[in-house]
């Protein structure tokens, strides 16, 4: 078995291990005969693990592509958490805050001294691993996750009482402050 197949199998096993346990009850069916979506409720026990599940899953994907791993950054996590909550308040998934702030503004506000590489956002009822899988299916969001320049990861969410989850993932390069008008960032939904 070659090394790539081994790494891909490891990444698949890691992603499977991060997924919630399957339900033992039969899925409810809609009028079309298809299973109705299940609301993923984040419990306190799961909340403590989600950032690390995402970090491990992202790093497995990066390793499979031969890209350096990311490390969690508390400041990027704070910027992601602020934006997830703000998207809920605005009731729309987009990259600009209710005050007109950009992703660059948000990472500066929390004191991140590096350069923002990109931001992925999502509005869903799905788990973090299902959200990551959806991001990996789209070239723009996949590029944010696999960008070789990135070294830091921020990841957070906000769950509404109805179960809807607003996810935000940010990546950055430590110690490389942005140059106004020069740097480009990747924004993907």
- Lowest-confidence pick of 34-43, 122-131, 162-171: 34-43
Q: What is the pLDDT of residue 46?
A: 87
- What residue ranges do the domains of the chain occupy? 44-173
pTM: 0.75
Per-residue three-class SS string for 31-95: CCCCECCCCCCCCHHHHHHHHHHHHHHHHHHHHHCCCCCCEECHHHHHHHHHHHHHHHHHCCCCC
- pLDDT tens for 23-33 read 566 777 878 88
Query: Look-up: residue for tokens 């660059």?
Result: 104
Asked if residue 150 has pLDDT above 90, the reply is yes
pLDDT in tens, 61-85: 999 999 999 999 999 999 999 999 9
Task: Say whether pLDDT at 110 is over 80.
Answer: yes
Residue 29 is predicted with a pLDDT of 81
Fold for the domain defined by 44-173: Pathogenesis-related Protein p14a (3.40.33)
Grade residue 2 by pLDDT with cuts at 50, 70 and 90.
low
């Amino acid at each position: 078995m070659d090394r790539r197949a081994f790494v891909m199998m490891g990444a698949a096993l890691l992603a499977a291990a991060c997924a919630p346990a399957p339900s033992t009850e039969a899925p409810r069916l809609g009028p079309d005969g298809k299973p109705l979506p299940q609301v993923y409720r984040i419990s306190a026990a799961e909340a403590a693990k989600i950032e690390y599940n995402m970090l491990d899953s992202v790093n497995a994907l990066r390793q499979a592509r031969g890209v350096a791993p990311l490390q969690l950054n508390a400041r990027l996590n704070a910027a992601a958490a602020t934006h997830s909550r703000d998207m809920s308040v605005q009731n729309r998934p987009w990259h600009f805050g209710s005050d007109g702030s950009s992703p660059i503004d948000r990472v500066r506000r929390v004191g991140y001294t590096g350069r923002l590489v990109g931001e992925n956002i999502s509005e869903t009822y799905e788990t973090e691993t299902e959200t990551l899988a959806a991001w990996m299916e789209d070239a723009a969001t996949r590029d944010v996750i696999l960008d070789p320049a990135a070294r830091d990861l921020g990841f957070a969410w906000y769950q509404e009482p109805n179960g809807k989850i607003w996810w935000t993932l940010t990546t950055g390069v430590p110690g490389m402050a942005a140059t106004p008008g020069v740097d480009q960032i990747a924004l993907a939904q």
